[in-house]
Amino acid sequence: MAYFPLEELRKIETPYYYYDMSLLRSTLQTVAEQAGKYGFYVHYAIKANPNHKILETVRNYGLGVDCVSGGEIRAALDAGFTGGQIMFAGVGKTDAEIELALDANIKCFNVESVPELENINAIASRMNRMAHVAVRINPDVDAHTHQYITTGLKENKFGIGLDLLDEFVAKALKMKNIDLCGVHFHIGSQICDKEPFEMLCDKVTDVLAAMEKAGALISIVDVGGGLGIDYNDPDANSMADFESYFKLFADRLRLKPGQQLHFEPGRSIVGQCGSLITKVLYVKEGASKKFIIVDAGMNDLMRPALYRAHHKIDNLTSTSAVDDVYDVVGPVCESADCFAADERLPLTERGDLLAIRSAGAYGEAMASCYNCRKLPASIFSDGL
């Protein structure tokens, strides 16, 4: 359960992200233990939160990283990860990013199309390097999640359809500077049911058989990320159920000797340890609603505006036993700048401090300066 040291938090200029580092550490400890039971490899998806201190903490638990840009590769190297701990995914890798990854001697490129494969081969040949490559498969599995964060359906831009796999493999095997050694999948994010992961396991088994038939020797099997967290009750469920998650793959996937299973969780590692702390500027009576206007905006935490995502909101300072129903909105000049509609909260006043919970993943990472606002600061529980 996340802990809020109120006296210290009150003194800091709002809005800011507050990270409970002991919750992050116990989450990482659990991930390392549960994945370690089966000899699985875990690569933290940096996109969820590239904060330097978070990356250093992740590295201390022996995880690798999953990057989707040259900037993320640089952030990983700056935090002390080695090239051998880096996977590099993404549909649109630039030449400069490919060169950077080859220079760092990364573990694997997750490649999403034949033109991308040809380009990596050409650059690797020019640099006299061998590029280790996993083909990203679009398995056509419905993750039953928000349309913007489902990635494994036929109509999504990600990966290669099963019908094009043979052609991809045949071309890759002929390329001198490509070592086709892996398969990669990622079906989507915030997945809370077992079923999509079970279907994924079955697709992986089929794909491995097809790869073998096509003559590819596969050692890296990467099943991506996607494990969801409890946004409605982060105190009751401050950690995702990693034990059942890894067990599902251990029970359902049969790998050949020498094949390693890799995971790329982002949200489930950092989501619950972070909160956006914001101050109440005004409480306003609208024609039909009461608004709490806070000093954080959609530029600080974009998920509610982007996905209509719900984050639990706690009033950290109100002592009122009475509650009321409010819309909690920010100061940005957009109607989408609304953190919660019809949220039941204790009676709230100007100056109260609110915590917008479960904001450690895709929160600070997506913040912008829209409306010429400052980027939110990051505050760590062990730095107070």
Ligand X SMILES: Cc1ncc(COP(=O)(O)O)c(C=O)c1O
Residue 122: which residues within 8 A CB-CB, separation 6 or more? Answer: none
Angle at 48 between CA 45 and CA 31, to 5 degrees: 55
The closest of 170, 105, 168 to 131, measured between CA atoms, is 105
The least CB distance from residue 200 to ligand X, in Å, is 13
Interface characters, 216-255, with ligand X (x: CB under 6 A): --------xxxx----------------------------
| Span of 112-120, 263-271, 308-316, 370-378 interacting with ligand X by CB under 6 A | 263-271
Count of residues near ligand X by CB under 6 A: 18
Q: How far apart, in whole angstroms, are the C-alpha atoms of residue 160 and residue 165?
A: 7
By beta-carbon proximity to ligand X, the closer residue of 46 and 294 is: 46
The least CB distance from residue 97 to ligand X, in Å, is 15
Q: Is 264 in the site for ligand X (CB under 6 A)?
A: yes
The least CB distance from residue 253 to ligand X, in Å, is 18
Q: Which residue of this chain has its Cβ atom nearest to ligand X in the complex?
A: 225
Q: Is the peptide bond before 115 cis (omega within 30 degrees of 0)?
A: no
Alpha-carbon distance values, 180 to 131, 155, 191, 344 (Å)? 8, 25, 29, 54
The least CB distance from residue 347 to ligand X, in Å, is 36
By beta-carbon proximity to ligand X, the closer residue of 271 and 297 is: 271
Residue from the set 139, 159, 196, 265 that interacts with ligand X by CB under 6 A:
265
Q: Is 189 in the site for ligand X (CB under 6 A)?
A: yes
By beta-carbon proximity to ligand X, the closer residue of 88 and 326 is: 88
Q: Is 64 in the site for ligand X (CB under 6 A)?
A: no
The least CB distance from residue 90 to ligand X, in Å, is 8
Question: Which residues in 86-105 contact ligand X (CB under 6 A)?
Answer: 89
Residue from the set 107, 132, 203, 267 that interacts with ligand X by CB under 6 A:
267
Q: Is 48 in the site for ligand X (CB under 6 A)?
A: yes
Q: Is 318 in the site for ligand X (CB under 6 A)?
A: no
Residue from the set 66, 97, 241, 337 that interacts with ligand X by CB under 6 A:
66
Q: How far apart, in whole angstroms, are the C-alpha atoms of residue 42 and residue 262?
A: 6
Q: Which residues bind ligand X (CB under 6 A)?
A: 45, 47-48, 66, 89, 151, 186, 189, 224-227, 264-268, 361
